Amino acid sequence: MTNWLVFVESNTSGTGRLFAKAAREQGLTPVLLSLDAARYPYVIEDNLLTVEVDTRDQHSVLAAYRKLATDGIVAGITSSSEYYIAMAASIAEQMRLPGPEPGAIQRCRDKAWQRYQLRKDNIPVPDFYLASSPIAAGEFAQRIGYPLVVKPVSGSGSIGVRFCRNREQVLAHATHLLEQTANERGSAAAAQILIEAYAGGTEYSVETFGLEVVGITRKYLGALPNFVEMGHDHPAILSAEEREAMERVVRETLKSLGLGWGPAHTELKLTEKGPVIIEVNPRLAGGFIPELVRFSCGVDLIRETIRFVTSKEVSLTKKYQRYSSIRFLLPEEEGIISGIWGIEEAKAVSGVESVMLYKPNGWMFRPQGDFRDRIGHVLACGNSPGEALEAVEEAMRKITINVSQAPSNFGDQ
Q: Is 283 a catalytic residue?
A: yes
Q: Please tell me which residue in 283, 294, 307, 372 is annotated as part of the active site.
A: 283
Backbone angles phi, psi at 355, to 5 degrees: -130, 120
Q: Angle at which helices 167-178 and 134-144 pack, to 10 degrees?
A: 140
CB 266 within 8 A of CB 206: yes
In sequence order, which residues have a C-beta less than 8 Å from that of residue 192 and are 6 or more positions away? Answer: 112, 130, 131, 132, 153
Tally Cβ neighbours within 10 Å of residue 323: 24
d(CA 343, CA 327): 14
CA angle at 101 for the pair 97 and 103, rounded to the nearest 5°: 130
CB 22 within 8 A of CB 28: no
Annotated active-site positions, please? 283
